[in-house]
Chains A and B, each alone.
Chain A
């Protein structure tokens, strides 16, 4: 080390504050990683969803009930709904982190989490209602 070179601080900033400002934020990897992993899971689920949309385009309510009553469809649909709204919450949280500063950050984040949770639950209940409805098919 060069002994003549002494770092000089002429700002009103304590050494502790300076030390605290160093290094990573220690959190955030889990958020980043879960966003990627939910994205990876949504790739095949989206492919499945496109096929189902083509199957159900122009369908009547009865067709949808029959479709949703099949356990395989209901399982895929539940996975799709849960992962979609989870991924949505993770993504919108990043937007809030980027643009909402100060005191508004916490209420905005909580509002987003609450809304995402409620929409997700709503979707899950709707799928379960379709899945568990008594079959209208003759002979079932």
Chain B
């Protein structure tokens, strides 16, 4: 042992003998794989979903406060940028939901082989994109129809 830092790499085998633990190479040496992107995307989606949910509480608070507060929130939700944020929140929630279902399946012992994980990844992407588009279109569609009806009456 030449370097004192090597002490941190001493590990034990299950029989108690000493071994030099392998060092993990830096992230950039790995070839890009979909599974690695989907893994970190799940974490990012969780953070984004949390931030969106905190904003959702503001909507709830405004509704309970009264019509004037609610009008202020509507200014945000009816603004194009606000709509973009809502669509982003939807995407984050949908992906976190899909990836969460995959995690629950893995924890229960299903679809956890490397081959299966690589098969399921593109499916998860497809389901996420499809469900997000359907949800965003139907939510904004329903909202547009309802406000048009309000104006007409």
Contacts and interface: CB of A to CB of B under 8 A. Distances in A.
Interface of A is mostly: helix
A61 B97 contact: no
B66 interface: yes
Contacts of B93: 46
A111 interface: no
A33 B16 CA distance: 30
Contacts of A84: 53
A11 B104 contact: no
Interface of B: 1, 4, 6-7, 10, 12, 16-18, 43, 46-47, 49-50, 53-54, 57, 60-64, 66-67, 70-71, 93, 97, 100-101, 103-104, 107, 135, 138-140, 142-147, 150
Interface of A: 5, 7-13, 18, 22, 36, 39-40, 43, 46, 50, 53-54, 57-62, 64-65, 68, 77, 81, 84-85, 88, 91-92, 95, 119, 122-123, 126-127, 129-130, 133
